[in-house]
Amino acid sequence: MKKIIILGAIAMSLLACNKTNPLLDQPATPYGVPAFDQVKTEHYLPAFEEAIRENKAEIDAIVNGDPIATFENTIEALDRSGLLLDRVTGVFFNVLEADGNDEMDAIAEKVSPMLSELSAYIILNDALFERVKAVYDVRNELNLTAEQMRLLTETYKSFADNGANLPADKKERLKQINEELDLLSLQFGRNVVAETNSCQRFITNEEELKGLPESAKAFAAEEAAAAGHPGEWLFTPKRTSFTPVLQYCENRELRKQLLMDYTTRANHDNQNDNKAVIIREMQLRIERANLFGYANPADYILKDCMAKDHQTVDAFLQSVWAPSLAAAKREAAELQKLLDADLPGEKLQPWDWWYYAEKLRKAKYALDEEEIKPYFELSNVRKGAFGVANKLYGLQFEPLQDMPVYNPEVEVFKVTDAAGELIGILYTDYFPRAGKRPGAWMNQILPQYIDADGVDHRPVIINVGNFNKPAAGNPSLLSMDDVETLFHEFGHALHGLLSRAHYKSLSGTNTPRDFVELPSQFMENYAYEPEVLKTYAFHYQTGEVIPDELIQKINAAGKFNQGFVTTELLSASILDMDFHELTTAEGLDVNTFEQQSLNKMGMIDEIIVRYRPTFYNHIFTTGYEAGYYSYTWSAVLDADAFVAFMETGDLFDPATAVKFRHLLEQGGTRDAQELYLEFRGKEADPQHLLRRKGFVE
């Protein structure tokens, strides 16, 4: 009794200490969103400690509850646990990725092993697994709904796939492996950010920037002034900074320097070098796969994906690689001719490709991206994406003012359906900053689920990007790639927002990785459709809608340079698979292995793989290991899905849109292949993707 009293006193003390923590004692906020504006750095660690303690107590209550395990008191209860931790992690990791700093990094290092230990506490809990297995073993006698059966099956697989059936010694080793991998992932990401931020090239002579558009020079001048170098121009390995130089600058040496700055990040034998991190990660991933009886990490990872095994992925990638590489070689020959005219005897190099491709695009299609960018003002492009969602699904997007945000650049929107019902809350955060990791992504801040009382908790979703900041009094103007990226990430957001699952572990984007890119890539199809362009592409100075002549040029050039684009992407996918098909990391040299992989695939010297290993965040930090192929796999699905609309003669055909929205609403509640077959009525035809890219007639 005395022990219980003491524990109770400690619990009361903890509650008192945490009473003013906005992550624990959630203040009243519109729509229940996190109180970002009240959260301070010192709140995170106590919040994690309390949320983890609460989650463990929930697990203990399941284990020590009714001795007869049922779907409700075990499987459902497990899915409904951890809501406080969901809120804390949703806030912390979003801010860490989008607006982090050294203090946040230090907290992440402390929290990572705590979360790994919690995961092990749940997934390697023998008593809990016994209950899960007991329910699973009688599943066919329980008269469950299809979604309940899916939850039960996925819960059992999650335990089995993560070590519940392993003997005690292997469970302990698995726990150690996962903890170390989590820390290595954090270290890898920190190194990439540090390298990106530390590499700065200041130009003092404007003559060296000949050919660079005035807007790009103005941006570089503002960056230099902010860095304490007024009157100069600053370029960094951030894509918004160096891409215009690659496209337009006549200075070949500067193009080379900036591309090398980008492609050699975290590969310099310094404190930010990621080669040793990669070797250790691969050692641990191989050992983990071996614990489960798999020879390599790829097959351990792929077993729950649509592809199922590495042989299927390899065959798929090769089927697209051959026509892509052939197209890239034809494109290289064309670009070489342009280089010959400028620099006779010189060979086309990777830092020449973008420059001469831009010249060739102008020559072939009279298409100058600088002529188009004034029509792609950021907020208008976002309105265009919103407009597509409105025409397809009847969604409305209302800007919300005075909402709690973690950075003043973040904007917030209320999303409702045609009847005015709340769909969810969408945050957008589009500009680069020192504490933001490179790239663009969608994250879930709060999940969608239906609670025990039947209340549908709508999701809070965020789209994050690294687009050009407004410069020299102009708004943010997007490149064509940026426009596609915005539509892409918005497609992920719709997948999360439209979710109608009962269970949070099955809601939104909780699907196989080679299916999750379908909704995002499907949205890209609409970006340059003429009827869509007319709704958002307005000149930022005159308000003029984009002229038909420019639209025709954009669409005429739609298949231009696709050999390069696809080969660059596929080479990264094949490199990813080669790493994860390793059966040993003994003697692994990262740079040598990369070159061997490129040689094996026949990669041409004129193209650099999209992500070189030491800054390949997708596979070493964000959970896409043995999964980068998913973008191309899903591209087959998205091309086929878009054809379903084209076949009706209406890109917004209501009946087809209803069917596709139903696919999005299902999340992971059903088998991905089953969902697609229900939508399309047949398997996806890969020829649609090859035709879209111009590889076949």
The CATH number of whichever domain residue 353 belongs to comes to: 1.10.1370.10
Task: List Cα–Cα distances, 504 to 51, 77, 78, 448, in angstroms.
Answer: 17, 12, 11, 6
Decide if 360 contacts 338 (C-beta within 8 A): yes
Confidence of residue 264 (pLDDT cuts 50, 70, 90): very high
Do residues 404 and 441 share a domain? yes
Q: How is residue 236 written in tokens? A: 């960094």
Assign 497 to helix, strand or coil.
helix
Q: Percent helix, strand, coil in the chain (nearest 5)?
A: 60, 5, 35
Do residues 250 and 284 share a domain? no
Is pLDDT of 221 > 60? yes
Task: List Cα–Cα distances, 152 to 42, 128, 305, 508, 588, in angstroms.
Answer: 38, 14, 18, 18, 40
**Of 221, 241, 263, which residue constitutes the final position of a domain?**
263
Report which of residues 474 and 358 the model is more confident about: 358
Q: Calculate the CA 209 to chain-centre distance.
A: 33
Do residues 447 and 315 share a domain? no
Give residue 13's pLDDT: 38
Do residues 259 and 279 share a domain? no
Residue type, 639: A
**How many independent structural domains does the chain possess?**
4
Full DSSP string of 175-235:
HHHHHHHHHHHHHHHHHHHHHHHH--EEE--GGGGTT--HHHHHHHHHHHHHTT-TTSEEE
**Nearest CA among 346, 352, 286 for reference residue 586:** 286
Residue type, 599: N
Q: How is residue 489 written in tokens? A: 């990430």
Mean pLDDT of 389-409: 97
Residue 426 lies in a domain: yes
Residue 92 lies in a domain: yes
Do residues 395 and 316 share a domain? no
Distance CA 61, CA 2 (A): 21
Is pLDDT of 12 > 60? no
Distance CA 668, CA 456 (A): 17
Residue percentage of the chain with pLDDT more than 90 = 94
Full DSSP string of 307-333:
S-SHHHHHHHHHHHHHHHHHHHHHHHH
Long-range CB contacts (< 8 A, 24+ apart) of 525-528? 525/638, 525/639, 525/642, 526/388, 526/487, 526/651, 527/384, 527/385, 527/483, 527/484, 527/487, 528/480, 528/483, 528/554, 528/555, 528/558
Mean pLDDT of 276-282: 98
- 418-422, 436-440, 662-666 — which is least confidently predicted? 436-440
Do residues 238 and 286 share a domain? no
Q: How does pLDDT run across 245-258, given as a tens digit for each residue? A: 999 999 999 999 99
**Of 263, 283, 302, which residue constitutes the final position of a domain?**
263
Give residue 622's pLDDT: 85
CATH (domain of 28): 1.10.1370.40
- Indicate the burial class of 510 (C-beta count within 10 angstroms; 0-12, 13-18, 19 or more): buried
Distance CA 601, CA 594 (A): 11
Q: How does pLDDT run across 157-181, given as a tens digit for each residue? A: 999 999 999 999 999 999 999 999 9
Do residues 441 and 394 share a domain? yes
Distance CA 122, CA 51 (A): 14
Q: What is the pTM of this model?
A: 0.91
Full DSSP string of 564-625:
HHHHHHHHHHHHHHHHHT-S--TT--HHHHHHHHHHHHT--TT---SS-GGG-HHHHTSS-T
Distance CA 38, CA 41 (A): 10
Q: What is the mean pLDDT of the chain?
A: 95
**Nearest CA among 640, 642, 633, 655 for reference residue 688:** 640
Cα angle, residue 304 at apex, residues 69 and 145 outer, rounded to 5°: 45
Residue 190 lies in a domain: no
Whole-number CA gyration radius for the chain:
26
Decide if 252 contacts 351 (C-beta within 8 A): yes
**Nearest CA among 264, 267, 466 for reference residue 350:** 264
- Indicate the burial class of 576 (C-beta count within 10 angstroms; 0-12, 13-18, 19 or more): buried
Report the length, in residues, of the chain.
697
Do residues 303 and 451 share a domain? no
Residue type, 595: Q
Distance CA 301, CA 162 (A): 11
Residue 144 lies in a domain: yes
Give residue 474's pLDDT: 85
**Structure letter (DSSP) for residue 408:** T
Mean pLDDT of 407-429: 97
Is pLDDT of 108 > 60? yes
Is pLDDT of 17 > 80? no
Confidence of residue 471 (pLDDT cuts 50, 70, 90): confident
Q: Calculate the CA 649 to chain-centre distance.
A: 32
Give residue 623's pLDDT: 86
Task: List Cα–Cα distances, 19 to 16, 29, 30, 317, in angstroms.
Answer: 5, 16, 20, 54
Distance CA 122, CA 102 (A): 30
Residue 177 lies in a domain: no
Distance CA 465, CA 385 (A): 15
Return the bridge partners of 477, or none.
377
Is pLDDT of 568 > 60? yes
Is pLDDT of 1 > 70? no
Do residues 540 and 500 share a domain? yes
Distance CA 65, CA 134 (A): 14
Residue 682 lies in a domain: yes
Decide if 264 contacts 593 (C-beta within 8 A): no
Do residues 250 and 356 share a domain? no
Q: Calculate the CA 414 to chain-centre distance.
A: 22
- Number of other residues whose CB lies within 10 A of the CB of residue 581: 17
Q: Identify whether 489 is a catalytic site residue.
A: yes
- Catalytic, out of 489, 517, 594, 665: 489
Do residues 235 and 335 share a domain? no
Element containing residue 441 per DSSP (H, E): strand 441-446
Is pLDDT of 697 > 90? no
Is pLDDT of 46 > 90? yes
Give residue 20's pLDDT: 86
Give residue 649's pLDDT: 97
CA dihedral of 328, 332, 333, 334, whole degrees rounded to 10 = 100
Give residue 487's pLDDT: 98
Mean pLDDT of 384-405: 98
Q: How does pLDDT run across 569-578, given as a tens digit for each residue? A: 999 999 999 9
Confidence of residue 27 (pLDDT cuts 50, 70, 90): confident
Confidence of residue 447 (pLDDT cuts 50, 70, 90): very high
Tell me which residue range forms the domain holding 251: 199-263
Token match 């059936």: residue? 165
Residue 78 lies in a domain: yes
Give residue 696's pLDDT: 86
Mean pLDDT of 63-86: 97
Residue 187 lies in a domain: no
Give residue 19's pLDDT: 56
Element containing residue 384 per DSSP (H, E): helix 378-393
Residue type, 212: L
Decide if 250 contacts 343 (C-beta within 8 A): no
Confidence of residue 26 (pLDDT cuts 50, 70, 90): confident
Decide if 25 contacts 50 (C-beta within 8 A): no
Do residues 235 and 304 share a domain? no
Distance CA 560, CA 619 (A): 29
